[in-house]
């Protein structure tokens, strides 16, 4: 019964010309213009709140952005509580419920968001006082209702489960912990266990100790005068009480003295997500910041002309895109070059990334390449000045990071002055290919050996979703894949009980983008199946196999199955396919013991007679199957099983989560009927 869900995706999936641009001749560089950034005014309230005002009377709108200037907070066993404290501030105050806040904001057509670092609000000028009344109430009197916290914790937990099958998230988690360390505020991760330790009191304490006016900046932009802004700030924020705010100091993360080669597993993956990443000591507004940004743009900053893109995509055809980023931070920044490539070229693609990084360090860039990037950055900066929020952001940055007053007004002059020699100097200073984390997330059975070439000692370390080192355990010598399958059969009820099931009807539900889908399945031994998916009582997909022939009916029409698709349907139609493994030519291989959601599991590779390969995970202690990973034309399909219940003496999972790519579906089984006398006519094509 469990394997039928591997074909649900089949039913779901059945339901540009680009202008040619001549880049052979870059535009000629123009002299760097003198620019007028625009005026802003500032003042300070007695409680320490610093206020910046940017007047813009083109539209009758006013925006209020409150930003806290805080040291990093290490959340430890309750990681995630600061972000929840920020997001849940608007979930109710001492006098307003969440619904009342939402209704009031919607009624005036406003925008209002909160975070752990402040809040943002925007409305028509005529509603600004109403909006500020709500904003100040949320700022100073949040209630943090328990029911809203419980709801958010559940949503975050669900997101974590979905992310476990996303190679990009896995790569991000591993890179984060390796760059900064798990015990650093920049390196710690939110997990199911840390969510369990988050309480309303923790949220209230964070707000009480960190949301203070003496570390805050209020930026007001729009149809407002300085006098009006002063009156509003005093009225709505003047009673906000100042208090000492904790100072948090942490030792800076250290660089690696040689490449750190890391891998993480994504069962059944036919692609690898790769990164070359390391920390950089580059603060916002640093004298090197503009030159370093030019260097990164040439390397992989996002344009089609960037070297990584040209090399990995246009020249080698390894990927659809390859990019790099150089992030500044007032404590410690980071560099990352990344891509997604075919498994077979994982090492080759990483070699090309490292080659381009080293080439930036050794060779001067061509003048035409340099001028192209500078012109692009010039245009981007100039366009940003059309938004008054840009002027406000510049004012805030100058104040927060103690930048020269003319830092932004002279930006284009400094950009124009960047030379090829400067770019090479920045590459040598901020690109560290010999001290980087070299990471690949994919099928570890395919990428482990090639990845060893990047380590001077041939060392490759595997990490899990949480950035923890994977300690692999070999299965005992007396345990084989065949014995694991035998234990599974015994654990769910035994061979006799399974053979006694001649037919089975299963009903379940799932949601897709808020729409409820009913899933009705009928099976009859040895290999007949009918699977219907319904929405609102109407059949949207029908898949049937009568033991020899198969057909799929969907809004796209009817399709007679043949070849590999027919063989897959034939295999999936079996109620308990494991009963046939010994006799039908299925090949089994025990890959070892791993940890899965806190349980030790046997990892078994199953190759069916059709050639279809599935990786299955069985509990070491209880023998139950908890996950299957297989390949399909739509991508890697991962099915997790839980909540086993007994039907006619046989244990079957009633909760399943199936994911393919970014899509994830929760499948709830509502009923299972066994041996009701299903007729063969049910499966007529």
367-384 and 420-430 helices cross at what angle (nearest 10)? Answer: 80
- Under 8 Å CB-to-CB from 341, ≥6 apart: which residues? 271, 272, 274, 312, 318, 319, 349
Provide the b/e sequence for 157-169 (b: ≥16 CB within 10 Å). eeebeebbbbbeb
Cβ–Cβ < 8 Å for 349, 316: yes
Per-residue pLDDT at 33? 56
How wide is the angle at C-alpha 680 spanned by C-alphas 674 and 684, nearest 5°?
125
Rounded (5°) CA angle 618-619-621: 145
Secondary-structure class of domain 474-683 per CATH: mainly beta
Q: Is the separation of the CB atoms in 175 and 439 below 8 Å?
A: yes
Judge contact between 225 and 55, C-beta under 8 A.
yes
Is there a common fold for 41-237 and 474-683? no
Domain boundaries, given as residue ranges, for the chain: 41-237, 260-463, 474-683
CA distances from 192 to 196, 452, 598 (A): 7, 32, 11
For 492, other C-beta atoms within 10 Å of its C-beta total: 23
CB-based contacts of 461-464 (< 8 A; 24+ apart in sequence): 461/260, 461/261, 461/262, 461/263, 462/262, 462/263, 462/264, 462/265, 463/174, 463/177, 463/178, 463/262, 463/263, 463/264, 464/264, 464/265, 464/595
CA 3 to chain centre: 28
What integer pLDDT is reported at residue 9 of this predicted model?
45
Residue with tokens 């409305």: 123
Architecture of domain 41-237: 2-Layer Sandwich (3.30)
pLDDT at 15: 46
Phi, psi of 459, deg, nearest 5: -100, 130
The 3-class SS string of 106-118 reads HHCCCEEEEECCE
Identify any residues that bridge with 625 across adjacent strands, giving them in sequence order.
618
Contact (CB, 8 A) for 655 and 156: no
What is the model's pLDDT at position 275? 98
User: Rounded to an integer, what distance in angstroms lies between the CA atom of residue 189 and that of residue 101?
Assistant: 31
Q: What is the pLDDT of residue 261?
A: 98
> Are 575 and 530 contacting, i.e. CB atoms less than 8 angstroms apart?
no
10-residue stretch averages of pLDDT, the chain, 685 residues long: 46 39 49 63 96 93 96 96 97 95 97 96 97 97 97 92 89 98 96 96 97 97 96 97 96 96 90 97 95 97 90 95 96 97 96 98 96 93 86 88 90 95 98 98 94 96 94 83 96 96 95 86 94 91 92 89 84 90 92 87 91 91 94 77 95 90 83 95 88
- Report how far residue 595's alpha carbon sits from residue 191's, in angstroms, rounded to the nearest whole number: 16
Q: Map 372-412 to HEC letters.
A: HHHHHHHHHHHHHCCCHHHHHHHHHHHHHCCCCCCCCCCHH
Residue 335 pLDDT: 98
Exposure string (b/e) for 268-304, b if CB count within 10 Å is 16 or more? bbebbbbbbbbbbebbebeebbbbbbbbbbbbbbeee
CA distance 637 to 615: 11
**CATH architecture of residue range(s) 260-463:** 2-Layer Sandwich (3.30)
């Amino acid at each position: 019964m469990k394997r039928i869900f591997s074909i649900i995706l089949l039913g779901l999936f059945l339901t540009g010309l680009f202008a040619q641009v001549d880049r052979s001749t870059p535009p000629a560089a123009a002299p760097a213009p003198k620019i007028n950034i625009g005026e802003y005014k500032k003042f300070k309230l007695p409680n320490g709140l610093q206020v910046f005002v940017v007047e813009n009377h083109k539209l009758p709108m006013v925006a209020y952005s409150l930003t806290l200037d805080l040291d990093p907070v290490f959340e430890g066993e309750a990681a995630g509580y600061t972000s929840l404290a920020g997001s849940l501030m608007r979930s109710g105050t001492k006098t307003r419920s969440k619904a009342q806040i939402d209704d009031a904001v919607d009624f005036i057509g406003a925008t209002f968001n909160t975070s752990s670092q402040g809040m943002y609000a925007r409305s028509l000028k005529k509603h600004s006082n109403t909006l500020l009344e709500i904003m100040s109430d949320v700022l100073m009197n949040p209630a943090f209702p328990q029911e809203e916290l419980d709801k958010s914790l559940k949503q975050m937990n669900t997101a974590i489960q979905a992310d476990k099958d996303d190679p990009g998230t896995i790569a991000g988690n591993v890179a984060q912990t390796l760059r900064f360390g798990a015990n650093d505020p920049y390196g710690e991760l939110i997990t199911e266990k840390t969510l369990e330790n988050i309480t309303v009191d923790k949220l209230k304490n964070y707000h009480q100790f960190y949301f203070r006016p003496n570390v805050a900046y209020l930026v007001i932009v729009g149809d407002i005068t300085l006098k009006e802004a002063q009156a509003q700030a005093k009225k709505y924020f003047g009673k906000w009480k100042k208090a000492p705010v904790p100072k948090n100091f942490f030792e800076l993360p250290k660089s690696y003295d040689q490449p750190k080669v890391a891998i993480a597993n994504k069962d059944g993956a036919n692609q690898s997500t790769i990164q070359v990443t390391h920390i950089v000591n580059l603060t916002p507004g640093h004298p090197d910041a503009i030159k370093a940004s030019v260097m990164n743009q040439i390397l992989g900053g996002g344009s089609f002309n960037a070297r990584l893109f040209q090399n990995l995509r246009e020249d080698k055809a390894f990927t659809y895109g390859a990019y790099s980023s150089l992030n500044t931070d007032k404590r410690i920044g980071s560099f990352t070059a990344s891509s997604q490539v075919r498994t077979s070229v994982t090492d080759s693609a990483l070699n090309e990334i490292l080659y381009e990084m080293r080439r930036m360090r050794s060779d001067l860039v061509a003048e035409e390449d340099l001028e192209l990037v500078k012109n692009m950055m010039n245009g981007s900066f100039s366009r940003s000045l059309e938004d008054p929020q840009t002027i406000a952001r510049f004012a805030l940055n100058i104040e927060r990071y103690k930048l020269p007053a003319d830092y932004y007004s002279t930006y284009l002059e400094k950009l124009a002055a960047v030379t090829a020699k400067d770019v090479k100097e920045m590459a040598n200073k901020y690109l560290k290919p010999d001290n980087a984390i070299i990471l690949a997330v994919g099928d570890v059975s395919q990428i482990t050996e090639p990845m060893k070439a990047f380590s001077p000692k041939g060392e490759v370390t595997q990490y899990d979703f949480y950035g923890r080192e994977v300690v692999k355990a070999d299965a005992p010598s007396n345990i084989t894949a065949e014995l694991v399958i035998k234990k599974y059969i015994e654990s769910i009820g035994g061979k006799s009980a399974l053979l006694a099931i001649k037919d089975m009807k299963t009903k379940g539900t799932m949601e897709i983008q808020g729409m409820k889908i009913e899933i009705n399945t009928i099976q009859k031994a040895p290999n007949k199946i009918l699977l219907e998916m319904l929405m609102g009582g109407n059949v949207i997909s029908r898949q049937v196999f009568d033991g020899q022939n198969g057909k799929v009916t969907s809004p796209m029409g009817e399709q007679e199955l043949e070849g590999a698709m027919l063989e897959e349907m034939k295999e999936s139609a079996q109620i308990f396919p494991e009963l046939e493994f010994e006799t039908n030519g299925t090949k089994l291989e025990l890959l070892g013991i791993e940890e899965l959601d806190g349980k030790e599991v046997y990892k078994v590779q199953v190759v069916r007679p059709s050639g279809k390969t599935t990786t299955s995970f069985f509990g070491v202690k209880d023998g139950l199957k908890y996950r299957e990973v297989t390949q399909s034309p739509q991508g890697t399909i991962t099915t997790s099983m839980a909540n086993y219940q007994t039907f006619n003496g046989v244990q079957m999972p009633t909760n399943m989560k199936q994911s393919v790519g970014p899509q994830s579906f929760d499948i709830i089984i509502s009923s299972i009927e066994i041996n009701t006398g299903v007729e063969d006519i049910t499966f007529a094509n």
